[in-house]
Chain A
Amino acid sequence: MVDVVVIGGGHAGVEAAAAASRAGASVVLVTRERAALARLSCNPAMGGTAKGQLVKEIDALGGLMGIATDRSAIQYRMLNRSKGPAVWSPRAQTDRDLYTQAIDTLFYERYPDVEIVEDEATGFAVNGDTLTGVRLANVGVLACKTAILCSGTFMRGLTHTGTVQNQSGRFGEPPANHISADLERLGYPLLRFKTGTPPRVYRDSIDLSVMEQQDSEDESWYFSHETTQRYNPQLPCYRAYTVPEAHDGIRARIDESPMYNGTIQSTGPRYCPSIEDKVMRFPDRDRHPLIFEPEGLNNPLMYVNGFSSSMPEEVQLASLRTVPGCEIVRFARPGYAVEYDVVPPHELRATLSTRRIPGLYLAGQINGTSGYEEAAIQGLIAGTNAALTVKGRDPFILRRDEAYGGVLVDDLVTTHPTEPYRMFTSRAEFRLLLRQDNAEERLHEKAFRAGLIPEERYESIRARLDDKSSWIKRLETLKFRRGDLVARDRKPDQLESAAQLLRRPEISLSALLELGNGALPERPDPALLYAIETELRYAGYLDRERRQVEKLRSQEEKRVPDDFDYDIVKALSAEGRQKLETHRPATVGQASRIAGVTPSDLALLVVFLRDRERVAARKQSA
C-alpha cells in the first residue's frame, strides 16, 4: 500500500510529492499529463512581495520551487530595495517551458522513487472516516494510507470569454468533475471561486520600442541556496499604459462581461482585478499600467500583465489595439475567467488534513488561495504532514512568527475566504522577523527534524549561523571612533560599538570592516555580511517583536480539544459560537483570530477550558 498519493501535478502537487518523499514516505503522483508538470498557468513570473519570501521558505525546507525558478529565470528584480530589508522581495521572470523542464528534471534526478502516473483521479475509497484508496479512471482503486488533493482550478472548471463558456480547468484542458461529485458524496461543502488571466499576444505584433523597458537588475542573488550563477540570458519587460479609448470600448459593452451581467456569481480576487473591473470601479483614472512580460527565451508570446479580462475576444482585442505600440496586436489566445470548486478551509486542520476524513489532505487553490507560491508551500506542508502521520510522528506546523507559510495556514483555518487568498507582507504581524534573507535560520531546525533537509545541509546552516552570531558578538564589543564614520559629529572622539553605529542607516558594515581591518582580519561573504548588517540594524525592533512573540506564546500553546463542546458555554455570542463551531480552533490563539469571536467569548472560552482542566485534575487525584 502506498503511503501518500498526490493528486495533481501543479505547484502544490509537485512540492507535496517531493516533500512526502524527503520525509520518508512512498509516493505516487497522479497527473493527467507529465509534460504539464508545474505549468505556469498565469504569468511567467515567480516571487514578488511576500511571495518571494515564500519561495525562500520553500527552498529552506528543501523544496523545488527556488531551484526551478533559478534554472528558468530570465530576469531578476529585488522589489522594495529602497525600503528596509524586511520587505525586500525577490521576483523573477521565468521561461515557462524551462520551469516545467526544471521540475521534471528534479524529479528524474532527485526523486526516482516518486512514481508519476498519468491518470485522472475520480474519487476516494473510504471505510467510515478512514481513507483506503484513490479511485483512478484507468487503473481503478489505488490503495493508500493518505492522499493529498491539489486540484487547482480544475474541479468543475468553467472558463468564460464573453458569452463563450467552456467546461475547462485551464485553456484547452478538460475539467475534473468526478472528484467534485465525490467530495460532495463524502459530505464536504464546496464553494465557487473565480480567477482570470490576460491574453497572450505575439511578440512580433507589438512595437516594444515605444514602451518603457524594464531590465533585470545587475546585482546577483538567487532564490535557492544551491544556485551559484545565472543559468539563462536575461530579458527585459516592457511597460505601457491604457488610454481613455481603451476604457470607452470596454464600458460600451460591459453587459457582455460575464462578471457584470451576472453569469459569474463567484467573486474574483480584488488584488488582481480584470481590466473591466478597473475601468468600472475607478472611472476617474484615465490610464492603467500594462506590463508585457516575455513568456520565455525562445517563446514567440508575451503575457499582458494588467489586462486580465473575460470580455468577448473582439472587445479585448479592440481595446488593446488602442494602446500605443499595440495597433496591430494579434492574440495567441484571449484572456478568460475561470470558475472552479473550492473546499472552505475551515474543513482543515493546521496540518492541512481534513477533519472529516483525516487521511485526506488538501493543498493549493482548492483551499481558496491563489498564486503559485501559496500553493507550493501548502503542498510542502501537506506532503510533510502526510508522511509524518504515516510514520506516526509529530505533525509539522509552522508558527506565525516563524514563516509566511505559518501565517498562510493559520489565516486559512481561522478565516472564511470571500475571494482567493493571496499572501501580503501586511498579513504577517511579525514581518521584521520573516525576512527573505533569514528563511534558513528560521526553518532549519524544523526542516531537519521532519527529514526535509539532509544532515550535511543542516550542519552547514548551523555552522553559518554560529559564524553569524560570533560576528555579531564581535561587532557588539568592537569600538570605533565616531569621527571616522559620522560626518560633522559633535563628539568625534567618542568611541561607539560597531553594533551601535550600524543603527544609523548611513553607515554600512563594509565601511566598518574597511576601518577595522586590523581587528577583523577576515571578511564575511556577501550574503553573510548582509545578514549580519540586517540583524544589527533592526536589533531594537527585532527584540521587540521577539518579546511580543513570547507574550503571545501562552495563548498560542493553550490547546482547545478538537471535540470541545461549545454548547456548554451558554454565554458565547451567537456569532462567536457559530464561528468557533465551524473553525474548531486548535488553540486559544487561533480562536482569537477568528473574526466574530469577541474578547468576551475568548475570556469565556479560557474560563471553561481552565474549569475542564481543573475537573480533570480533580478526577485524577481522586
Chain B
Amino acid sequence: MPAQSILSSDPIAALATPPGQSALGIVRMSGDGVWTLAAHACGHKSIPESWAPRTAQVVTIRDSDGDVLDEGVLLPWKGPHSSTGEDLVEFIGHGSPAALTLVLERFLALGARPAKPGEFTRRGFINGKLTLDQAESVASLIDAKTGAAARSSLRVLMGGLKTQLQMIEESLQDALGLVELELDFAEEEIPIFNRDRFVADVAELLDQLERLSQHARASKYLRNGIHVVIAGETNAGKSTLFNQWLGQERAIVSATPGTTRDYLDAAVDWNGIPVRLVDTAGLRLTEEAIEKEGIRRAQALLEQADVLLWLVSPPDFVLPDERYVTDERLLLIRNKADVGVLTPETLSAKVTAAISATTGDGLDDLQARIVQRLMGGTNYEESLGLEQRHARHLNEAAEALGRSSTLASANASEELIAVEIRAALDALSEITGRIAGDDVLNRIFGRFCIGK
C-alpha cells in the first residue's frame, strides 16, 4: 500500500468525544467531499439546498437500507473557514457509544477513512489554522483531565506565555546589547558594561523564570495529576485516611488484581487538580513481610510518587526505612491526633502535619500543604498551560543565565558572558520563535552614539 501523503485532504472521520456514556457525542469528518458524504449518510442523493456553512441541521443518519442509526444535529463548515481549514461536518448525536460507533461506521462505509491520532489538528496546522505552539496546546487541551487544566491550556492558545517570555527576552537583548557594544565598538567612547547592574538584572530575570517554571510544574500536575502515596505501619491509619479522602470526593476505588493485595489506587479531584491516591505499605521492607513481586510493585509506585505521606501514630511511632527518611518527597504525618498521646519530642520537629484520619481533622490543611509544596505560590487557576518541553527550555535559559552571572562576577571577559546570554535567548526562542539577529545591533544604534 502506498504511504498516505501527509498533505492529502482525503476525507477522514473519527469520534470527537471520548468513548463512554454521556449526554451527547460527536462524530467529525473532514476533507474533500464530506458534505456530500454526510448528505448520503442522511439519505439524500445530493447536498440539500438548505445546508449552509455554520448552520445547524436536524438530521437522521440512516444505514444503506434506510434504517435509522441515530438522530441529531449536523453542523457543516466550509473550508477554509473551519478548524481544519477543509470542508468539515460535525454530527452531534446521542451519547450512546453503540449509536455513535454505528454513525462512524456509516461514514467510513461511504468513503471516509479513520483519522489517525492528531490528524484533525495536523490538518489545521498545515492549512494555517493554528500555529505550532497552538497546535501543541490543542493536544493538551484534549488531554486535560480537569477543568483547571483545560483553562490553562486555553491561556497558551491566547498567547499569554508569549507576552511574559517576550518581556524577559527584551531585557536579555538589552543586556546583550551592552556586552556586544563593548566587544564590537572597542574604539568608541562608550559606557562600560556595568557588571554589578548586570548581576542584579539577572537575579531579577531568574526570579521571573522561576515563576514561569513554577507554572510549568503546576501545569504538569494539572495535566498529569499529583501522585500521592500513603504509607506507614499496619494500623497507622492509612486505609482510614485513604477512605476519608475518597469519601469526601466519591472517587472510584480500584483494587489492583494480583496475588498480593499490595496496594489500593484511586483517582480523586482536589479543587480541580487530579490526584492519584495510592495506599501501600511498601516503605518498610522487612524481609519476611512482603513477597518479592509485591516489593517490586511497591518500589515502582514509590518511584513515580510526587509525595510520600508516611503516617506515624501511637503507640510505636514507627519511622520508614533509613533511605526514605532523607527523601525530599517524604512528609511525616502524625495521625490519630485525636488520641491523647503526645508526639515524642524527637519526632515532633520532623512532623509536617497532625491529622485525624478518623474525624477528618486537619485533612484540608494537609491537602493545601501538598498542593503548595508542589505547585508553589502559583494560583493554579491562573497557571499557564506550559508544556514539559517549555519547562525544559525555561530551565536551560535559567542555567545559562546563572552561568552568565557567575562569569560577570568573576570578571570573565565579555565574549563569554555573551555566549551565555545568547544561550539563554536561544532556549527562550525555542518557545517563542526565533528573533532576528539584527535586534542586538538595532538596540545598540538606537541608544548609543556609535561610529567615528
Contact = CB atoms under 8 A, between A and B. Distances in A.
Contact of A425 (B127, B131, B184, B433): B184
Given A49-B184, A427-B441, A572-B128, 15 more contacts: A80-B186, A83-B415, A84-B415, A87-B413, A89-B186, A273-B450, A278-B449, A282-B449, A289-B452, A426-B440, A570-B85, A592-B434, A598-B131, A599-B433, A614-B5
B6 A426 contact: no
Interface string A359-395: 0000000000000000000000000000000000000
Contacts of B418: 426, 431
Nearest to B8: A611
Contact of A270 (B6, B188, B436, B450): B450
A152 to B, nearest CB: 21
Nearest to B430: A599
Contacts of B450: 270-271, 273
Interface stretch (A59-67, A172-180, A476-484, A601-609): A601-609
Contact of A604 (B2, B126, B180, B433): B126
B451 A83 contact: no
Interface string B441-452: 100010001111
Contacts of A544: 419
A611 B452 contact: no
Contacts of A490: none
A291 B433 CA distance: 43
22 contacts: A48-B187, A80-B186, A273-B449, A288-B449, A289-B189, A306-B452, A424-B180, A425-B180, A425-B183, A425-B415, A426-B184, A429-B437, A431-B419, A432-B419, A541-B416, A545-B419, A568-B7, A570-B85, A599-B433, A604-B125, A611-B5, A611-B7
A84 B451 CA distance: 23
Contacts of B438: 415, 595
Q: Which bracket fits the contact residues of B?
A: 35 or more
Contacts of A282: 449
A264 interface: no
A409 B186 CA distance: 24
A306 B451 CA distance: 7
B85 A571 contact: yes
Q: Is the interface of B mostly helix, strand, loop or mixed?
A: loop
Nearest to A270: B445
B448 to A, nearest CB: 8
B421 to A, nearest CB: 11
B131 A600 contact: yes
Contact of B6 (A278, A572, A599, A607): A607
Contact of B419 (A83, A306, A541, A573): A541
Contact of B187 (A79, A84, A505, A608): A79
B186 A272 contact: no
B451 A615 contact: no
A80 B7 CA distance: 53
Contact of B422 (A429, A568, A571): A429
A285 interface: yes
A408 to B, nearest CB: 13
A571 B125 contact: yes
Nearest to B411: A505
Contacts of A598: 131, 433
A272 B451 contact: yes
A50 interface: yes
Interface in B31-75: none
A426 B417 CA distance: 13
Nearest to B182: A83
Contacts of B252: none
B185 interface: yes
Contact of A426 (B85, B186, B441): B441
A281 B451 CA distance: 13
A514 to B, nearest CB: 25
B300 interface: no
A83 B451 CA distance: 20
Nearest to B183: A87
Contacts of B126: 570-571, 604, 607
Nearest to A273: B451
Interface in A285-322: 285, 288-291, 305-306
Given A571-B125, A600-B132, A615-B5, A281 B422 contact: no
Contacts of A285: 449
A575 to B, nearest CB: 13
A604 B452 CA distance: 45
Contact of A271 (B85, B133, B445): B445
A86 interface: yes
A508 to B, nearest CB: 15
Nearest to B414: A83
Nearest to A604: B126
A593 interface: yes
Interface in A415-474: 415, 424-427, 429, 431-432
